[in-house]
Amino acid sequence: MSRGSERLGVSEDEHYRERAQRKKELVDRRIARATIDRGVIVVNTGNGKGKSSSGFGMLARSLGHGFRCGVVQFIKGSFSTGEEAFFRRFDDLVEYHVMGEGYTWETQDRGRDIVTAGAAWDIAARMMSDEQFDFVLLDELNIALAKEYVSLDALLASLAARPPRQHVVITGRGAPDALVEAADTVTEMRVVKHAFKAGIKAQHGIEL
């Protein structure tokens, strides 16, 4: 029992319940104020691991609700990933496109990268204009934006004109300020420690 609780004649359990009750009341008030029901724009950026993983987690959650989903991967494509293998099993609910040809340091061909990103963007724009899609994941799009393979203005226009209840998740480091401003939820992943820096190669189930 804390000294404060002793002085007030309140047990530690009672003190814990009081704090929990105050927290619950605060959370309940915030929930009550959240009355807007519409699709949201989520941006996962930063140099840390977990941007795409979070996006695919939301994809799994959306499938659990029976949503019609679309996925466009802008960069990854020269190697297979576990998420691709898994989500392609749900072809009745997921339209899945791996459009990248690998990271830019692998392709070493800016012209080809621009053409590939343009083709990916055409699919993404179609999905965002289609009310049948409840959830759209644009994986590593931020990299294509940063390298000016895809027009930021075109993206912002498509986001603004998309169906009202459609959710869009955009991943990749270096999210531009205008996209951050337009988004409803933005998370910046920060590196604390990464196995790769210790010489451990990418692992299936973790990175692949």
Residue 201, pLDDT > 80, answer yes
Got the DSSP string for 89-129?
A: GGTTTEEEEE---S-HHHH--HHHHHHHHHHHHHHHHHHHT
Q: What does the pLDDT read at residue 61? A: 97
Question: What's the token pair of residue 139?
Answer: 């994986």
- The string of pLDDT tens digits covering residues 150-180 is 999 999 999 999 999 999 999 999 999 999 9
Q: What share of the chain in percent tops pLDDT 70?
A: 88
Q: At the top level of CATH, which class does the domain 37-198 belong to?
A: alpha beta
- The string of pLDDT tens digits covering residues 6-45 is 555 568 888 888 888 888 888 888 888 878 899 999 999 9
Q: What does the pLDDT read at residue 176? A: 97
Q: What does the pLDDT read at residue 105? A: 45
Q: Where are the domains of the chain?
A: 1-35, 37-198
When mean pLDDT is compared across 61-70, 104-113, 193-202, the lowest value belongs to 104-113
Q: Which residue has the higher pLDDT, 131 or 103?
A: 131
How many CB atoms are located within 10 Å of the residue 106 CB? Answer: 13
Q: Which residue has the higher pLDDT, 2 or 100?
A: 100
Mean pLDDT, range 55-83, rounded to an integer: 89
